[in-house]
A and B are shown apart, each in its own frame.
Chain A
Amino acid sequence: MKTSNALLPLVGVAILLAVWGLTTALKLVDPVLLPSPLATFRTLWEGMLSGKLGADFLKTVMRTISSTAIAAVIAIPLGILLGSSEKLYRSVEFLIDFFRSTPASAMFPLFLVLFGVGDRTKISVAAFGAALVILFNVAYGVMNARKTRLLAAKVMGASRTRVLFDVMLLESLPQTFVGLRNGVSLALVIIVVAEMFIGSTDGLGQRVFEAQQLFDMPGMYAAIFAAGALGYTLNLLFLLIERRFVHWAGR
């Protein structure tokens, strides 16, 4: 019973592959537009192992990770600072919400002017988008620290600094991880779009775009799946880190 439950998520995958396989086998769709699953996954496998796809994949990983890391280094301390004073947060809340709602892709031209064509632009736009998401979550995590827990520490004679480090920081960790997970997802989206359109020569976005231009459909699907796998893995990675370090979340 238990093993069968663990296999449930595979049902959807099996159905998708079956429908896809059947569609291509019966030639319901032009084979040029939709290659068979086998051809697609062979291209993916070979591309990842020996071809350019693997290199592009790593490039996108590096860019996404560095932009998220930059965002975290800036946004976490700032979020703690803003969150620890509600007045301070309220006074910049509009700015944060405004820029959080601004599509980061609309900022490309601005960042191009600032940083030129290259990695610095892609990484800084993604970092900008991710930082706002992380900042907002960290600040709310700190502001929503349980009052009883803060009082309990205070009653035991803890100083303000001690309350901040021993209680507030840990109280905000679950929300911080929500921010990090959303931040890394957003960073990946921005990086892939940037790779497509701002003079890139590598990266998954560029790979998808180029495959489409060359009408290399298996290559395009392979690159899309690689991007999907990357997004899923990054999310899973943060979830595992969260479970390890924030074992009390939701309990």
Chain B
Amino acid sequence: MRVTSLAPSVATGGFDESRRTAPHVTIRGLSKHYPDAVIYDRFDLDIPRGKLISVFGPNGCGKSTLINMIAGLVPADAGEVLFDGRPLSRVKFGYVFQNYREALFPWLPAFDNIAYPLKVMGMPKAEREQRVERLVAHLGVKIDLALYPYHLSGGQQQLVSIMRALVVEPEILFLDEPFSALDYEMTLFMRDQLQRVFMETRTTTVLVSHDLEEAVYLSDHVLLLSRHPARVVEFVPYDAPRPRTDKTLSEPDFVATKAHCLKLFQREVRRG
């Protein structure tokens, strides 16, 4: 329990939440092995509060496994993940799957899909509807939410998934390669939707990406992982102001950050 000392205490009177600098999530000694490979071996990481972190690394290094362990979808063999010192069971979080087609409920209209987690929480119907409508207005989403998911485009379905994750007002949001099943045009559009969501909510966000451009473009930090057993190769900061646009992609610090990440990535790939 060496982490307890690191866990910040609950905010006291007069403390400005937005200026808290203590990490939001502390990961200590996380270990995971599959029959044929050790994926994580005593892995440590701090996830900063209110930032968007992209996880990037070689294929099969366990990018998704990392967020799945943090979000409790996959049990870890050992180690501890604490959110402001609390276990996952006491934390409201959102999770967006890569496969939106299989993650949404096709028997519910988009609106009810978004409201579903509130229903699980036992919130009355009127309040649920109010919450969803508030979120829709807040994000400026222009989708006919009376439609069933199979009548929406892929991007719209994933946007519905993201809203379903956000409706509980999570303190942390996980996205597992959310745009990789979309075509390029839709990917670009969805990146900007996610950027807007992040700017509006400032929710701590962990994004697994297999696209380096996307990873850098969206994030405050790129978490570069090594081949398994995964270590942090570097926690690369990128602090271009938001909203970032097409122009950002050709600015020197974007190009330099991306080149730096690519160099580290290729070194990792060759090492394998």
User: How distant is the Cα of A133 from the Cα of B150 in the complex, in angstroms?
Assistant: 29
Indicate the member of A156, A157, A251 with the most B CB atoms within 10 Å: A156
Q: Write out, one digit per residue, whether chain B residues 142-181 have a CB within 8 A of any chain A CB (1) or not (0).
A: 0000001010000000000000100010000000000000
CB contact list, A108-157 vs B, under 8 A: 146, 148-149, 151-157
User: How distant is the Cα of A244 from the Cα of B120 in the complex, in angstroms?
Assistant: 26
Q: List the B residue with the shortest CB-CB distance to A245.
A: B107
User: How distant is the Cα of A152 from the Cα of B72 in the complex, in angstroms?
Assistant: 12
B102 interface contact, C-beta 8 A = yes
A241 to chain B, nearest CB (A): 15
User: How distant is the Cα of A161 from the Cα of B43 in the complex, in angstroms?
Assistant: 35
A59 to chain B, nearest CB (A): 38
Q: List the B residue with the shortest CB-CB distance to A249.
A: B106
User: How distant is the Cα of A157 from the Cα of B120 in the complex, in angstroms?
Assistant: 7
B121 interface contact, C-beta 8 A = yes
B102 in contact with A149 (CB, 8 Å): yes
Q: List the B residue with the shortest CB-CB distance to A167.
A: B105
Q: Kindly identify which residue among A156, A246, A248 contacts B116, using a CB–CB cutoff of 8 Å.
A: A156
Chain A residues positioned under 8 Å from B102 (CB to CB): 146, 148-149
A202 to chain B, nearest CB (A): 42
B97 in contact with A162 (CB, 8 Å): no
B73 in contact with A151 (CB, 8 Å): yes
Chain A residues positioned under 8 Å from B121 (CB to CB): 157
Q: List the B residue with the shortest CB-CB distance to A151.
A: B73
Q: For the complex, would chain A's binding face be called helix, strand, loop or mixed by DSSP majority?
A: helix
Chain A residues positioned under 8 Å from B29 (CB to CB): none
A248 in contact with B106 (CB, 8 Å): yes
Q: For the complex, would chain B's binding face be called helix, strand, loop or mixed by DSSP majority?
A: loop
User: How distant is the Cα of A241 from the Cα of B105 in the complex, in angstroms?
Assistant: 20
A113 to chain B, nearest CB (A): 45
- Asked whether A149 and B103 contact (CB < 8 A) given A155-B95, A248-B148, A248-B150, the answer is yes
Chain A residues positioned under 8 Å from B106 (CB to CB): 248, 251
CB contact list, B27-76 vs A, under 8 A: 71-73
A2 interface contact, C-beta 8 A = no
User: How distant is the Cα of A158 from the Cα of B72 in the complex, in angstroms?
Assistant: 14
Chain A residues positioned under 8 Å from B97 (CB to CB): 148, 151-152
B201 interface contact, C-beta 8 A = no
B99 interface contact, C-beta 8 A = yes
B150 in contact with A148 (CB, 8 Å): no
B72 to chain A, nearest CB (A): 8
A198 interface contact, C-beta 8 A = no
Chain A residues positioned under 8 Å from B73 (CB to CB): 151, 154-155
User: How distant is the Cα of A49 from the Cα of B68 in the complex, in angstroms?
Assistant: 66
Q: List the A residue with the shortest CB-CB distance to B116.
A: A156
A170 in contact with B107 (CB, 8 Å): yes
Chain B residues positioned under 8 Å from A156 (CB to CB): 116-117, 120, 164, 168
24 interchain pairs (CB within 8 A)?
A148-B99, A148-B102, A149-B105, A151-B73, A152-B95, A152-B97, A152-B103, A152-B104, A154-B73, A155-B71, A155-B73, A155-B95, A156-B116, A156-B117, A156-B164, A157-B117, A157-B121, A162-B120, A166-B116, A167-B105, A247-B148, A248-B107, A248-B150, A251-B150
B residues sitting closer than 8 Å to A (CB atoms) are 71-73, 95, 97, 99, 102-107, 116-117, 120-121, 148, 150, 164, 168
